[in-house]
Amino acid sequence: MEMAQMTGAQTTGAHRRLALKFVGSGSEYFRIWIVNLLLTLVTLTLYYPFAKVRRLRYFYAATEVGGQPLSFHADPWKMLRGYLLVGLMLVLYGVAGKVSPTAGLLAFVIVALVWPALWHSSLRFRLANSGWRGLRFRFTGTRGGAYAALAPGFVAAAVLVGLSATMDVRPGAPDPSFTPTVMALALLPLVFMLMAPWLLWLLRRYQHRHYALASEQTQFSVPLRSFYGLALRVFGLGLLVSLVAGVMVAVLFPVFRALAGGGDPTRALSFIALLPLLVMLVLVVVFQLALRPYVTSRSQNLVWNGTRSEHISFDSQLRFWPLLRLTLKNWFFMVITLGLYFPFAAVATARMRLEAVQVLTRSDPEELLATLATHEEAAAGDAAGDLLGMDIGL
Amino acid sequence: MNLGRTAGGEGGVIQALYFDGRSARGQPVLLHVDGSDLCAQAQSASPQDMPPAPLRWPLRSVVWPERTRHGQRVVQLRGGGSLQVSDATAFDAWRLAHGARESWVVRAQQNWRAALIAVLGMAVLVVAGYHWGVPALAQGVVALIPPEVDRSVGQATLAQIDSRWLSPSTLPAPRQAELKSLFAQAVKAAFPTGQTLPAPDYELHFRAADKRIGPNAFALPGGGIIITDALVELLQGHDDTLLGVMAHELGHVQHRHGMRGVVQLALVGAVTAVALGDFSTLLAGVPALLAQLAYSRDAERQSDAMAVQVLRAAGKSPAVMVLLFEQLPKARGDAVAPPIALASHPMDEERMHFFRDAAQGR
C-alpha cells in the first residue's frame, strides 16, 4: 500500500526534494574548538558541557534543510548537572571494579539498570532542544521501550560478567581447561558477534521510530535481515583487511623484536607487555582506515533510507570511495599536524555525510507542518524541567 | 536584502522571519528596538491597509545567538517563538549598534590572534601537564588506591608471566638464601627502625628465564621483585652490584611505579580522548603510549636513587653499579640500540655517570 502511495505521489509530481547543505567552515570551527578545548582542560573538564553546546550549536546552525537552518537550544548549565551525574557514576563504577569482583558486579548491575533510563532521557533532551523552522523536535519513545531495546545486550553482558566472576583463576586452582564455564566463556564472543547486528538493529529501531516533528512521527522499516546482510559484508571485508594487517605485523615484528633488546632489566618485559598493544595498534589503524568508512556509509544509507513519516522520507546516497578518500586525507593531515587538523576533518566529514542526504516531502513543508502543527500543543513545551540535561549520545 | 542596513532610525531595522513555535510557516517581519522591548513589525497585506500592531518582547527575556561567521542567526523568544535572520552580517552589526556585549569566549572564537594564543596555551598546558600535572595527579590517585590492589595486581601478573615466560630457579637454595639475607640486611641498614619512612614491603623471587628475557630483574606492583638466574650468573662474584640491582627494583616498589604507570596511561588517554574523542579512539591512544615510555625513564632515575641509598647504607660504593652497564651490553649481544623515542631507559652512559658521581659523594 505504501508503494502505491509512493508511486502515486511521484506520478503526480508532488514530491519535493529538500537538499541538506552544510555551510560550516573548518577554519572557523578550528577557532571554536581550540578556544573551548583550552577552557575545558584548564577547568579540569568542568567546562565540557559549555564546549559541547557551542560545538552542537555551530554544527546545527550550519546545517540547512531546504535553506532553513537547524538550531540547538540546550542550556549548558542543565547539561553540566547531567555531566557531573554521569561522570560520578562512571568513576564509582571504575573504582568498584578495582575494590572487589563482587562490588564490580554490583556496580555493573546498577549501571545496567540506570543506563537505559539515562539514554532515554538523553534522547528526549537532545530532540527537545533541536529545532527547525521554529518547531522543536520530539522524541516520543518511552522509558520502557529503552529498557526493552537495551535488555538483550545487557543480559548477554551480565552472563559474561557472571561467568568470569565465578571462574577460579587463582594460581593453584584446578586446571580449568575443560569445565563447562570455560567452554561457555570461549563461546561467548562468538555469541556476541552473532548477536551484534540484532542488538544494533534494536537500538536503531527504537531511535528511528520515535523521532517527531509537529505531527510527523517517523517509522523504521529496515528489516533485521538487512542488518545481518550488512554485517556479513563487513565481516568479509574485515577478513580481507585482516590479511593485509597480518602482512604488516609480520613485517614489523622483527623490527620491534630487535628493539626489545636482550638483557637490559625491564626492557624485555615492557616489550612483552607492549607486543599485544602493537598488534592491536596495527589492526585498529587498518580497520579504522578501511572498514570504518564502509560501515559508516552503508549504515547511514540503510538506516535513513528506511526511516520515514507519513509525509516525509529521506534519501541518503553516501558513497564509500569518496568517504574513504576523505578519511585517508583526514588521517594524513591529523598525523602531520599533531591533531590540529581535527576540526577541519570534523567539518569535512560532516559536510560529506550531511550533503549526501535529501529530505523528500509530499508537499511544501511550510504548508504541511503549518496545518498539522495546529493540532499539537506547543511544540516547544517539551523541554520540560524534569529532564536532567542528559546528553550522553549512543 | 540590504533593507537592514539602509533603513534609518536608532540602530536601524533588520529583516527576519518570525516563527511562533506552533507553525512551520515563517512570517517576514522587520525588527527594531523600542525602549526596553524588541519589536517585530509584520508588513501589511496590501499598501492601503494599516500595518498590524508589532509583536513585543522585553529585551531581557530574549536569548540572542552567538556570533559566528557562517550560518544563520536564530533568536529565541519567550513563549517558544523564534526569529530567524539570514543576513548574519547585518544582524551582527545591528546588534553591536544596540550595545550588544559579547562574552570574551565568543570574541576569542572569532579572532585568529586569540586562536593562536589558545594554540600556544594548549602547547604550554600539554608540556606542563606532561611534566608535572600527570605525574602529580597519578601520584595522588595511586595514594588513594589501597595497597591490597597493588598486591592482587602483582600476584595476577606474576601468575601470568610464570606460566608463559618463567620457570623455577635452578640456583641452589643456600645461594638464594644468602642473597636474600644480604639484601635484607642492606635494606634494614638503609631504613633503620624509628626512621619516619619505613622500608617498603617486598618479596624476592628467583626465576629461570629463556634468552628473550636474559639477565634481568623487574619489580611487580605490590612488592614482588624478580631476579633471573642469568643475572645472578652474569654478576657472579659481584654481589655488591647484584645488591644495587635489587635496591633499584625496591625503588620501583617504593614509588609504586607499576600502578603509577597504569594510572598515567589512563590519564593521558582520557585527556586526548576529550580533545579528539569523537574522531578516533586510536589517535587518543598513541600519545598515551609515547608518554608512558617517557615516564618510565623518570621512574628509572628515581629507582637508581634508591639503589644509591641502599648501597651507601650497606657501606658499599655506588660505583659497583657501573659494572652492570659494562656487563649488560656484552650479554645483550647483537641487540640493536633502540631509537630515542622508544628508549624507555636513560642512556647507559648517563646512568653510569650518575653512579660514579654518587660514589664520589656528589
SS3 call for B238: coil
DSSP state at residue A15? -
Is residue B334 very low, low, confident or very high in pLDDT (cuts 50, 70, 90)? Answer: very low
Min distance A138 CA to chain B CA atoms (Å): 13
pLDDT at B5: 41
Q: Does B102 touch chain A (CB under 8 A)?
A: no
Instruction: Give the Cα separation of A67 and B270 in Å (integer).
Output: 39
Q: Does A171 touch chain B (CB under 8 A)?
A: yes
Mean pLDDT taken over chain B: 79
pLDDT at A382: 37
Q: Give the burial class of B46: count Cβ atoms within 10 A of its Cβ; 0-12 exposed, 13-18 middle, 19 or more buried.
A: exposed
Q: Could you report the per-residue pLDDT of B164-214, keeping only the tens digit for each?
A: 778 888 889 899 999 899 888 888 888 887 666 778 888 888 988 877 677
A:21-50 residues touching chain B, CB 8 A cutoff: 23-25, 28, 30-32, 34-42, 45, 48
Chain B: residue nearest A94 by CA?
B266
pLDDT tens digit at each of 394 positions of chain A: 344 443 333 434 567 899 999 999 999 999 999 999 999 888 988 898 899 889 999 999 999 999 999 999 888 888 888 888 877 877 777 777 666 667 777 887 887 888 888 888 888 888 888 899 988 888 899 989 999 998 888 888 777 767 766 654 444 444 555 566 666 667 777 888 888 899 999 999 999 999 998 888 899 999 999 999 999 999 898 888 878 777 876 776 666 666 554 444 455 555 555 666 666 666 777 777 778 899 999 999 999 999 999 889 999 999 999 999 999 999 889 888 988 899 999 999 999 999 999 999 887 777 766 555 444 443 333 333 334 444 443 3
Share of chain B above pLDDT 70, in %: 81
pLDDT at A180: 65
Q: Which has more pLDDT, B43 or A351?
A: A351
- Cβ–Cβ under 8 Å, residues B75 and B65: yes
A:110-149 residues touching chain B, CB 8 A cutoff: 131-136
Q: Which of B72, B118, B231 sits opposite A34 (nearest CB)?
A: B118
Residue B95 C-alpha cell reads as 546588534
Q: Does B352 touch chain A (CB under 8 A)?
A: no
pLDDT at B327: 76
Is residue B85 very low, low, confident or very high in pLDDT (cuts 50, 70, 90)? Answer: very high
pLDDT at A118: 82
Q: How far is CA A106 from CA A100, A115, B148, in A?
A: 10, 14, 20
The interface pTM score, or ipTM, of the predicted complex is: 0.75
Q: Is residue B120 predicted with pLDDT exceeding 90? A: yes
SS3 call for A349: helix
Is pTM beyond 0.80? Reply is: no
Min distance B195 CA to chain A CA atoms (Å): 30
CB B24 to CB A365 under 8 A? yes
Q: Does B65 touch chain A (CB under 8 A)?
A: yes
Instruction: Give the Cα separation of A125 and B133 in Å (integer).
Output: 35
Adjacent-strand bridge partners of A357: A316
Q: Which of A28, A34, A42 sits opposite B68 (nearest CB)?
A: A28
Instruction: Give the Cα separation of A113 and A115 in Å (integer).
Output: 6
Q: Does A156 touch chain B (CB under 8 A)?
A: no
